[in-house]
Amino acid sequence: MSYQTALFDLDGTLLDTIEDLKDAVNHELAEEGDPPRSLEEITRFVGNGLRNLMLHSLPDGRSEEEIDRRTASMKAYYSAHSRVKTRPYPGMAKLLRELRAAGVAVAVVSNKADSVVKDLCEGYFPGGVDAAVGEIAGLPRKPAPDTVELALRQMGRGKEGAVYIGDSEVDVATARNAGLPCLSVTWGFRPREVLEEAGAAVLLDSSEALRRAILWED
C-alpha cells in the first residue's frame, strides 16, 4: 500500500526558484529607484503569492494601486525570466518519475500564476505531472483548499489516499484546510522551527525519505 495521489507545492519543495524571484523583484524595484532586497529577505517574503511578495518588498506606505501595478510589472518580467537560475532540488525529478511508475498520480499546486506553474512543470519535469494548478482569477489561493481540490478533480481523484507535500507554514495550513495529511520538507524556504510551530507532524530531510513516506516503505 501507499498513497495513491501526491500533491506537491512548487517553490521550495520541487524547485529552488529563489534566485529568479529575487532578480525579478529587484528588477522591478530598480525600475522606480527603490532599494533592492536581499536573498534572505526575499526568502522570508515568499510563500503566499507574488502580490504578497511584492507588497513586502516595496517600501512601506505604498498605495494598493501602486502595489497592483508593480506586481503586474514584476510578474511580466518573472514570466520571461523564470528559468534562468531555477533548478530542481536534488532527487526531485527522479522522485516524480518513480512515483508515477508506481501508479501514484502527481499534481503540483502553487500560488504562482497558473501559466507560470504549467511552464515550469513542463520545462523541468516534462511529462512528470498529471496536473499543474496555479493562481486562477476568482479562485481562492492557498491556504484555501480550492486549488488542491481543482487539481484532484482534474486527475479524477478523491481525497482518500491523497497526501500534500510542501515546505512552509502555508502548506501545512493548506493540507489542514483540504483535509489531507501533510508531509513537510526541510530543504525549502522555511526553517524547521517555523514548520514545527505551524503544526507540521512529519518533517523529511531528503528526497529519498520523502519517497519512502509517500510509498509507505518505512
Q: pLDDT per residue over 162-186, tens digit each?
A: 999 999 999 999 999 999 999 999 9
pTM given for the model: 0.94
**How many angstroms separate the CA atoms of 63 and 213, rounded?**
45
Domain final position from 42, 57, 80: 80
Task: Tell me the helix, strand and coil percentages in the chain, rounded to 5.
Answer: 45, 15, 40
Same domain, 33 and 138: no
User: What's phi and psi for 206, nearest 5 deg?
Assistant: -155, 160
For residues 11 and 104, state if they share a domain. yes
Q: Which domain holds residue 51?
A: 18-80
Q: In this model, does residue 2 exceed pLDDT 90? A: no
Q: Are residues 135 and 39 in the same domain?
A: no
Q: Same structural domain for residues 117 and 187?
A: yes
Same domain as 70, residue 55: yes
pLDDT in the model for residue 180: 98
Note the pLDDT of residue 1. 74
pLDDT tens string 100-117: 999 999 999 999 989 999
Band of the pLDDT at 81, cuts 50, 70, 90? very high
Catalytic residue among 9, 23, 130, 146: 9
Q: 124 and 175: one domain? A: yes
pLDDT tens, position by position, 7-36: 999 999 999 999 999 999 999 999 999 999
| 117 and 198 fall within a common domain | yes
What is the tally of structural domains in the chain? 2
- Whether residues 134 and 183 share a domain: the answer is yes
Give the C-alpha distances (Å, rounded to integers) separating 70 from 28, 111, 114. Answer: 7, 18, 19
- Give me the residues paired with residue 164 across strands: 7, 182
- CATH number of the domain to which 166 belongs: 3.40.50.1000
Catalytic residue flag (residue 9): yes
How far lies 27's CA from each of 30, 56, 78, 83, in Å?
Answer: 5, 15, 9, 16
Boundary of a domain, candidates 63, 80, 97: 80
Which CATH number is 76's domain given?
Answer: 1.10.150.240
Q: Are residues 68 and 105 in the same domain?
A: no
Do residues 194 and 92 both lie within one domain?
A: yes
Of 55, 110, 54, nearest to 86 (Cα)?
A: 110
The yes-or-no verdict on residue 218 having pLDDT over 80 is no
